[in-house]
A and B are shown apart, each in its own frame.
Chain A
Amino acid sequence: MTASAHNPYRPELATIQEIIQETPTIRTFRVVLNDEEKMRRFSFQPGQVGQLSVFGVGESTFVINSPPTRKDYLQFSVMRAGEVTQRLHQLSLGDQIGVRAPLGNSFPIEDMKGHNILFVGGGIGMAPLRTLLLYMLDNRQDYGNITVIYGARSPEDLSYGYEFDKWRTSGMDLVLTIDRESPGWKERVGFVPTILAEVAPTPFNRIAITCGPPIMIKFVLAGLKELEYEDHQIITTLERRMKCGIGICGRCNIGTKYVCVDGPVFSYEQLRHMVPEL
């Protein structure tokens, strides 16, 4: 074996091209791989993730939240939480990071064709949903009506606000909510699961995709069951502490499944057959 053989631990070097301050704690980074050829050939499916490296600090996993149909950069939304994300937030335009991507599985975009779609997102959980949402807007004719329920703690905590008008005019129903009343807020108020019950999109020919904090997912799943969604009509993404991202290091298992390679996308049907260790 030579040192030049493919090494899945070796990140591609990439440059930060654009930074968007989404919320007080979330920044979106648009990056391009330094190797132009690799950037041009880069392909992925909505839902797949990448490991971002700040060399000297470490790596962390983020969903690629630009859609595969828009290829001039790779976008990652990063919420400041641990050491890697704190450091990422300190970086500026032109700074070098490492990218290992694409990793993991993806949303079943083929199976979703011809269906109505419901997105239910909370906080940073909107990041993976955005990938799929934009992909669907770019392939609008393949999908039925699209409803998005997106909630955050306060108006300031909603990411991608600058795109909301475009989403709405592209023919989807966007329902925004915040946890508590806020001056000037004209949309809904209440936790995401409550709003889900209010909006109550019919399960007829529909796939629901939900992503958010574990506690929100728990109640959204219950809410969808209440609305009589079948297990296979519900899709979610899971989070686990990851290291290698390639199914080797062992820590992200839920029973026999590894979130890094068998996920992050799981249907509720799959979840129900996994060990209850979320």
Chain B
Amino acid sequence: MGSKTEALAKQFEKVFDDLELVIGWETGFDSLHATPAFIRQPSALGRLIWNPFCSHNLSGYLTKTLNATAQEDAKKIGICVKGCDSRSVVALIQEKFISRERLYIAGIPCRGTVDLRRLMRLKPSLKDVNTVHIEGNELAVETARQTHRFPLQDVLLRKCLQCRYPNPVLYDELIGEPLTPRVTEGQAPPFVDKLEAHSLEQRRVFWERELDRCIRCYACRNACPLCVCQDNCILESRMPKWLSQRSGMSEKFFFHMIHAVHLAGRCTECGECERVCPMEIPVALMKEKLNQVVKELLDYEAGLNPETQPPLLTFDPSETGI
């Protein structure tokens, strides 16, 4: 293993002269946690890693921490993207928050990333991991003593189980060979369909139970690369005030609805909102549902082509049926 990790570092080394920095992943506070890395010196490229723990979508940093718009004399920003992450980059380009010319994109075909909490449930004692990789339909986690194997079904992030874009849709260099999607269109019902099979009342109960846990830390919003309003989010606006500080169901529900609706036709299903939720609320389901609606109504999927205009970002007075 490690070959993609090495290839990644090598690739960035080659082009580093043109780069201001590289955003990738490195090992975090323990061997199970990867963490975003901001690398400003070529000598530190060795810190970069790539493995199934690299679940973070790094594209949000292009607008929220850095400014990846075109600027005279500015060097490029190097960034590592998986298939899903690349769609966020495309969407941000479409919405003109970042510019393609400012980016050097290393695209990584991805077999899926791990939901650490699912993994911990299966093996709470897991630690001191040497390597982790995907072999066929299993996650192989090698510790000093033994190699543990887990069915991918049981340990991947929910978004990865329904992934149709394992290959980056936009890149300057592809690290590794393209993969066949785990799920193709029309195959395996997405989670939304499963939930929709239930009655309205059952779904209300489901969402009340899930959202009841929300602590309104706003991590789902802040982690979302397409939540671009940043410090000007209407949820925190005091004038006008849309949301009270109360922590009842209506506030929680309202917050998540606002978040979801603002992502209709924009969400690229990177699943960050759900991954970062400390309370394990499947918040991405709401956006997936909206994406289904957008697909049906407008035949559009966000973040696939930087040249196209997202339908909800344009206005055509002659449009009918909406």
A83 at the interface (CB under 8 A from B): yes
A82 at the interface (CB under 8 A from B): yes
Residues of A within 8 A of B239 (CB): 82-83, 86
B238 at the interface (CB under 8 A from A): yes
Which residues from 36 to 86 on chain A have a C-beta closer than 8 Å to any C-beta of chain B?
82-83, 86
Per-residue contact bits, chain B 238-255, to A (CB 8 Å; 1 contact, 0 not): 110100000000000000
A82 to B239, CA, bound (A): 8
A162 to B30, CA, bound (A): 69
Which residues from 79 to 138 on chain A have a C-beta closer than 8 Å to any C-beta of chain B?
82-83, 86
Per-residue contact bits, chain A 190-234, to B (CB 8 Å; 1 contact, 0 not): 000000000000000000000000000000000000000000000
B interface, size bucket: under 10
Q: Name which residue of chain A comes closest to B241, CB basis.
A: A83
Q: Name which residue of chain B comes closest to A58, CB basis.
A: B238
Which residues from 203 to 241 on chain B have a C-beta closer than 8 Å to any C-beta of chain A?
238-239, 241
Q: How far is the CB of A46 from chain B (nearest CB, A)?
A: 31
A85 to B254, CA, bound (A): 28
Q: How far is the CB of A209 from chain B (nearest CB, A)?
A: 32
Q: Name which residue of chain A comes closest to B240, CB basis.
A: A83
Residues of B within 8 A of A86 (CB): 239
A83 to B237, CA, bound (A): 11
A67 to B9, CA, bound (A): 69
A86 to B239, CA, bound (A): 10
Q: How far is the CB of B236 from chain A (nearest CB, A)?
A: 13
A83 to B241, CA, bound (A): 10
Q: How far is the CB of A74 from chain B (nearest CB, A)?
A: 26
Residues of A within 8 A of B238 (CB): 82-83
A235 to B113, CA, bound (A): 58
A86 to B238, CA, bound (A): 12
A82 to B241, CA, bound (A): 12
Residues of B within 8 A of A83 (CB): 238-239, 241
Q: How far is the CB of A87 from chain B (nearest CB, A)?
A: 10
Q: Name which residue of chain A comes closest to B238, CB basis.
A: A83
Q: How far is the CB of B308 from chain A (nearest CB, A)?
A: 41
Q: How far is the CB of B230 from chain A (nearest CB, A)?
A: 19
Q: How far is the CB of B239 from chain A (nearest CB, A)?
A: 5
A83 to B238, CA, bound (A): 7
Residues of A within 8 A of B241 (CB): 83
A83 to B239, CA, bound (A): 7
Q: How far is the CB of A86 from chain B (nearest CB, A)?
A: 8
Q: How far is the CB of B255 from chain A (nearest CB, A)?
A: 20
Residues of B within 8 A of A82 (CB): 238-239
Q: How far is the CB of B238 from chain A (nearest CB, A)?
A: 6
Q: Name which residue of chain A comes closest to B239, CB basis.
A: A83
Q: How far is the CB of A88 from chain B (nearest CB, A)?
A: 14
A82 to B240, CA, bound (A): 11
Which 6 residue pairs across A and B have the least CB separation, nearest first?
Answer: A83-B239, A83-B238, A82-B238, A82-B239, A83-B241, A86-B239
6 contacts between A and B (CB under 8 A): A82-B238, A82-B239, A83-B238, A83-B239, A83-B241, A86-B239
